[in-house]
Amino acid sequence: MGDLNPALYDFVDSSHSYQTDENYDDLVEQKVFKYKYRQFAYDSLDYERKQERMITRFFERVQSRNPAIEADLNDILAEDQIRNTMG
């Protein structure tokens, strides 16, 4: 397991004592930390199973994407360059 196991860390949100609205930065940092070091939180069999599930679900989502909301990055950059060109 080691020192990088997320279960060993206690994420303290100190923003509640100073801010009236909820700060989501700490929540995002906690999720990123847990995702980045998840291989240390599980044994190797669980980690491999979860990795395989993540990859499988990613490809399932790729196949079911709505083409109406997808855009080609080259087209976006070309339009932006034309729009922002001086002259």
- Distance between CA 87 and CA 72 in Å, rounded? 26
Report yes or no: 2 and 47 within 8 Å, Cβ to Cβ: no
Q: What is the pLDDT of residues 34-87, one digit of tens each?
A: 888 888 888 889 999 999 999 999 999 988 888 777 778 888 888 888 888 875
For residue 15, pLDDT beyond 70: no
Instruction: Give me the sign of the Cα torsion angle 32, 34, 38, 40.
Output: positive
- Give mean pLDDT, residues 4-28: 68
- Distance between CA 16 and CA 41 in Å, rounded? 28
* pTM (2 d.p.): 0.47
- Distance between CA 42 and CA 50 in Å, rounded? 10
